[in-house]
Structure 1
Amino acid sequence: MLAGTVPNRRLKVSHVVVALLWGGLFALPFGDILNVSGLSLALAALTLFVGALTATFSCRYMRSDPHSGHFFLTLGLLVVSVLVFVLSTNLLLFALGWCASGWLLAKLVGHVRSWPEAQAARRRTCLSFLVGDSGLVAALIILALHANSLDLATALERSMELSPNILALVTMALIASAAARCALPPFSGWLMSSMTAPTPVSALMHAGLVNAGGFLLLRFAPLFEAAPLSRYTAVTLGLIAAVWGIGVMVVRSDIKGSIAGSTIAQMGFMIMSCGLGAYSAALWHLVAHGLFKAWLFLGSGSAIGMTSNKHSNLISHRCAGVIAGLAVVGAGLAVFSGQTNGEVIPLTLGMVTAAATLTSIGGIKILRTTRLWLVALIIVLVSFNIGGFMLAREAMGHDGPDLLGPWTLLALLSAFLASWLWQRGRFVARKPLSSGLYVHLLNSGALR
């Protein structure tokens, strides 16, 4: 009799969490009393939508898990903690919400308590977040003490009075915190090893939680506008992460590992957008990436057994060449038309990686109808991307000052795409970069 009552109690926990998340999402448009920015509202909507979608999916996925009640409770608290720092205008609440979200995410990564690999992944995640969160807390303490206030807007306004060295220290600490949460190198190991988490956790993690680093840089954008060296650091770190993530995505044969590599690359593009001052592009990239990765992860199970090894890599490489060529032409037209903002490059790179991910995963039994479906889907995604970017521009209101000239941006794009195609070409020809680098990419995030 007791055995029959436990599942019902667990179902009630899951149903309550699902109802609260969907209810919060539908109530968000009526939350004008919150008096928050368009950036915060956009991130709150994304968090609630992905959280509600993941919780709904988990009702069936986790139905036989003996700890499903604890899972849903932790998931609900995780979404709440993210909402706290996204919507908060208080530095103390911001820090508490940020740190709590990292701790709760690590608990979900180690959800399977009897699995040593899951517990090792949880510890790695905690360690990475501890380093990053320490930088955030230190930066917020400096801002609060200088402004003599816990109000975020006041702290940002008075931060312009800080000495250049202190301002550089604060912005570098924020970049370290963003890099840890976004899983940029050298912190990418926690994301790759988190594959031990249940699939719904991976969807929530890749679709929402890793994006928090981009939100952090956007929220404190005025600080970076006064610290050019930190902006160059963000751009450099983003490019390194993009190259590394693409390499991981190419060599990994498992679906979740490949998507994780793509996530690292996309986070690199997003951080690069913030450094370039392309705030609208970064915001839309953040939202689009969240929706895209939620769909990929929640549908990753259906891809098992569907990959056709024969010729799939060759077709993907040909598609990659076409995609790269179109990207360079499109970016070149933007440059010649007078579009000098840094948003051109990160948006183009983001779309290229998304399309490459689709063609890589879309190596599913290459039928003519499948090819047509992929082409149509890419066209829809591009159109959706343009419309969403326009909305993001309205939400942000303004972008930061340009960091690089248009021709420098175009050269940067061309160099990145050329290195990507060279890397793919060697892999398709079964000639990886080098045995050491290939093994290192393949074992990225491996628990030792």
Structure 2
Amino acid sequence: MSGHSSKPTVGALPDTTADSPFVPVALTWVVWALFVASIVALVARIRFGDVWEIPGWVAVDGLTVLMWVVVTFFSGIVHSYSRRYMAGSSHETRFFLATFGFTVAVMALLAADHVALFGVLWLAMGLVMAELIGIDAGWKQAQAAAAVARKYFVASSVLLGIALTALWSATGSTTVSGIGAAADTLGGPVWLVAAAALVGAAMIQSALIPFHNWLLSSMTAPTPASALMHAGFVNAGGILLTRFAPVITVDSTLMLAVVAVGAASAGGGKLLKSVQTDIKSQLGCSTVGQMGFMIMQVGLGFFGAAITHLILHGFYKAYQFLSSGEQVEQTSPSETTGHTIGPVTSVAGFVVALLTGLAGGVVFAVVTGKGTNVDSGLLLTFFVVFTTLHAARSAVQHTELPALARYGAVPLVFFPAIVIYAVVYEGVSGLLSVSMATTELTLLHGVVAVSFVGVYVAIETGVHENSRRLYVALLNATQPSSDTLLTSTEEYNEH
């Protein structure tokens, strides 16, 4: 038995356009202007296909302009949302300056070609995000969370510095583009150090297991900052590996290792989410899993799929965080707790979901050509089938329509969605200057596929709940740093 409580709104919401400070207003307009300019740049890139550059320092290519559009759009939404969210706060102006600074740092990073400039901007991006996490200077838990994040981000920057130094030493080039052009000459211990450091830096920034603690300790961040973090900042790992794709695709063994670390976080994130009870922690663990999927797509050699994934995940997660307040409900304890989706209620429902997933994979394969050969494209298509099946099953279970209407509506909704995803994937891949690096299927790829099915079935049927040891291990793995925890309800009221 669950109960819900709600309070009527007392009075009108504040008018943020009346007495809003100048800085938030001005920066919000500037960010939206940057969004419009980014769209113009993207159209020009598609039309003319040139790379605009300041030789040796800046190179604006397809990935740059595409991500500029995404970054400025998310930032514009966060700026606009924060006009009301931060209204009346003593650190409102500081928050807007930090948010705008983060946006500029990311945009500059996307265009940076000189390795020193790239490294400095990577560090700056992390330090500004840590500032947003601890924006309330008088809140000791927020300052502790910022300190935790800062340590991780500095470690990521150190690893990136090692990678860039090693690559400069091996190729003699001081630019990212120059290193990519000389990738055919890479190999041996120096390349291995550089490649491992790049993957490590990406794992930390994208909060992959076992580096996810900074993300789960950052719940003190204002909600719009969390949206920017989960929709944008964590995607930096995928951007980094895509930018240095020629380096990490030198050896197929390294690509397999990238698949393995991505798969561990993709499956682990779902397991970690299964023991969470609050909205933000669930979203945080979901991000860990989704970033694992993104990195795994990189390891499969499909950089266009990774970029498409991070864009779509960014839209989804930004919406989830900015609307998280609406999802908070007071629910009384009950004798039973439902699983993520719940058991199948009918054979017909399961058959519809299964057929939708399989047909979705066929549609994806026809549109993109992936999965038609026995290579890593087959595994990519498998995950499309798996994701479609999962989403279709959820829709069949939860859509409040008569059974017949439900079963007919699911394919009608999902097939166009898959076609749109495939078209977007093809468009994104066409914009990237990175060529696809399809690899041969190995035993590890098979283990990854089987493991995913096993984890999914275990969670959805509740098998994993039979092990108290596993539950405790998962709960311990999701505990934030102790200094970031609020220990009394009074502390919530102060902030």
Q: TM-score range by the shorter chain?
A: 0.7 to 0.9
User: For 1:386-425, what aligned pairs fall within 5 Å after superposition?
Assistant: 386-396=422-432, 399-405=435-441, 409=445, 412-425=448-461
1:18 matches 2:3: no
Against the structure 1 CA distance between its residues 319 and 169, is the aligned structure 2 distance closer, same or farther, given a 3 Å change threshold?
Answer: farther
Structure-2 separation of matches of 1:176 and 1:398? 21
Against the structure 1 CA distance between its residues 278 and 41, is the aligned structure 2 distance closer, same or farther, given a 3 Å change threshold?
Answer: same
1:193 matches 2:229: no
**Matched position secondary structure for 1:317:** coil
Against the structure 1 CA distance between its residues 203 and 431, is the aligned structure 2 distance closer, same or farther, given a 3 Å change threshold?
Answer: same
1:237 matches 2:261: yes
Contact 2:360 2:418 in 1 (8 A): no
**Fraction of identical pairs, as percent:** 26
TM-score w.r.t. the length of structure 1 is: 0.86
Structure-2 separation of matches of 1:25 and 1:385? 23
Structure-2 separation of matches of 1:11 and 1:361? 45
Pairs aligned (count): 442
User: For 1:150-189, what aligned pairs fall within 5 Å after superposition?
Assistant: 150-189=174-213
Corresponding residue of 2:318: 294
Contact 2:242 2:434 in 1 (8 A): no
Contact 1:191 1:445 in 2 (8 A): no
Deviations 1:257-315 (A, max 9, x none): 11111111111111111111111111111111111111111111111128798788257
Corresponding residue of 1:338: 372
1:275 matches 2:302: no
Specify the code of the residue in structure 2 equivalent to 1:401: A
Contact 2:61 2:433 in 1 (8 A): no
Structure-1 separation of matches of 2:372 and 2:474? 41
Q: Deviation of residue 42 (structure 1)?
A: 1.5
Against the structure 1 CA distance between its residues 409 and 206, is the aligned structure 2 distance closer, same or farther, given a 3 Å change threshold?
Answer: same
Specify the code of the residue in structure 2 equivalent to 1:30: V
Structure-1 separation of matches of 2:189 and 2:202? 20
Corresponding residue of 1:317: 342
User: For 1:53-132, what aligned pairs fall within 5 Å after superposition?
Assistant: 53-132=77-156
Q: Deviation of residue 444 (structure 1)?
A: 5.6
Q: 338-347 or 295-304: which moved more?
A: 338-347
Corresponding residue of 1:3: none
Contact 1:285 1:350 in 2 (8 A): no
Deviations 1:79-104 (A, max 9, x none): 10011111122212211111100000
Q: Deviation of residue 342 (structure 1)?
A: 2.9
Corresponding residue of 2:490: none
Structure-2 separation of matches of 1:444 and 1:356? 29
Q: Deviation of residue 419 (structure 1)?
A: 1.9
Structure-1 separation of matches of 2:477 and 2:415? 31
Structure-1 separation of matches of 2:344 and 2:69? 34
Specify the code of the residue in structure 2 equivalent to 1:439: L
Specify the code of the residue in structure 2 equivalent to 1:140: L
Deviations 1:340-374 (A, max 9, x none): 4535545764785699699989999x8549x96x9
Q: 265-274 or 306-315: which moved more?
A: 306-315
Against the structure 1 CA distance between its residues 127 and 429, is the aligned structure 2 distance closer, same or farther, given a 3 Å change threshold?
Answer: closer
Structure-2 separation of matches of 1:336 and 1:317? 32
Specify the code of the residue in structure 2 equivalent to 1:388: V
Q: 398-407 or 146-155: which moved more?
A: 398-407
Contact 1:332 1:410 in 2 (8 A): no
Structure-1 separation of matches of 2:208 and 2:431? 26
1:38 matches 2:74: no
Q: 348-357 or 32-41: which moved more?
A: 348-357
Q: 414-423 or 87-96: which moved more?
A: 414-423
Runs (5+) with no aligned partner, structure 1:
1-6
Deviations 1:83-138 (A, max 9, x none): 11111222122111111000000110111222222111111111111111101011
TM-score w.r.t. the length of structure 2 is: 0.78
Specify the code of the residue in structure 2 equivalent to 1:132: S
Runs (5+) with no aligned partner, structure 2:
1-16, 45-51, 54-58, 486-495
Contact 2:72 2:103 in 1 (8 A): yes
Q: Deviation of residue 386 (structure 1)?
A: 2.3
